[in-house]
Amino acid sequence: MTAEDVDRWSSLQIQREIPGSSQGRLLQLLHQNGDRSRADLARAAGFTKATVSSLVTEMLEEGLIVETRRRPIGGRGRPAVDLNIDRENWRVVALDLSHDDGFYGAVLDLSGRVLHRDSILSLAAQGEVALQMAIELAERLCAAAAGRIIGMGVSAPGIVDADGVVLASHNLRWTDVPLKDVLLERFDLPVSVENDANVAALAERDRVGAQSDLMVVKLGYGVGSGIIANGKLIHGSHYTAGEIGHIASGDSADYRCVCGRAGCLEATLSLPRLNARLSAADERDRAEILEDAGRILGNALAPLVGALGTEVVILTGVSDEVADSLVVAARDAMRPRLTEESWASLDLRISPLGDDLAFQGAVSLVSSAVLGVP
């Protein structure tokens, strides 16, 4: 750490000072519009040029923004100096706790570029063991981050409240685990914890540029969905919006879920369950299993799509070799259950982000929580 870094705000100070402030307003404009000069920012924000000049000087000193280019503005005046958010020098630590074979993590910059990867593999870690694994992985990632860490974003399976408490995660055997506070106390960094499907939905909204209304359906350790409406993530009054994994389905009645009930979607569609069935089947039976799984998925999604008016449904978590079969079967099941208008506009597809979905969503989480920008 240099002497200059010692004098700069910490990430926690930035989180306290920037969102909702005048500096935060300038960051929002730069996030939305890209390179802008001081004069551009003054006009857009409705601030005086002197105010913007003072704010920009402070933000340059704090390393929040950088000068990007000089461009002529006509006449004989000095060229305009454009500014933008410094996305290259800040680091985001991302944790993905949603896999059944271990925990995965990465260090990224604010543009979403992955700079370092790490993982701790362990089949079905649960309870305190899982919590200590998450802490250990976070320690390793922080040690590997070459740059100023702006925050930590965590993708966790289960129901997560606004304070970063994992209220219930059947797969991790967590109940009321204050994950955000545990990590904040350990690392003294801004920490954002969110449900894994919600993190995936943020990634699709911000990194892929999907529409402002979308649903991401995540098949993984469990089954869940993240819903974006009018550009905003929907949580519901009890943080259970999108929790479709433990909705009972008559199609799944023959399978018992980890929650103890029979008939949950998760009992059929979670990847450990689905992969176990596929690995024990021959080629013909594999096709039938995938068709059955896609049908169950489509039957569950149709009423949600119809009720929400969602046009874009993005499936993530499945391998390329089974994705097409699932999508085809799901679409076939949804068609007779939707109105003609809903069916005609439906875009059901596979996420292009693959395994990095949680990491990209973590960048969105941290950017919003610390800088006040999506």
Q: What is the pLDDT of residue 5?
A: 52
For residue 152, what are the β-bridge partners? 93, 191
- In this prediction the pTM is 0.90
Q: Which of 4-13, 25-34, 108-117, 164-173 has the lowest mean pLDDT?
A: 4-13
Q: For residue 154, what are its two tokens?
A: 């965590």
Side-chain-side CA neighbours of residue 53 (13 Å): 5
Q: Which of 172-186, 198-212, 298-312 has the lowest mean pLDDT?
A: 198-212
Cβ atoms < 10 Å from Cβ of 132: 12
Cβ atoms < 10 Å from Cβ of 328: 15
Report the alpha-carbon distance of residue 53 to residue 96 in Å, rounded. Answer: 40
pLDDT-derived band at 73, boundaries 50, 70, 90: low
Q: For residue 250, what are its two tokens?
A: 């008559």
Highest mean pLDDT among 176-185, 213-222, 304-313: 176-185
More confident residue, 222 or 364: 364
Nearest Cα to 110, choosing from 157, 63, 144? 63
Q: What is the pLDDT of residue 135?
A: 98
Q: What is the pLDDT of residue 110?
A: 95
Which residues 6+ apart lie within 8 Å of 1 measured at CB? none
Report the alpha-carbon distance of residue 304 to residue 166 in Å, rounded. Answer: 25
Please name each of the domains of the chain with its CATH number: 3-85 (1.10.10.10), 90-200+357-371 (3.30.420.40), 209-354 (3.30.420.40)
Q: Looking at the predicted structure, is the pLDDT value of residue 3 above 60? A: no
Q: Looking at the predicted structure, is the pLDDT value of residue 261 above 90? A: no
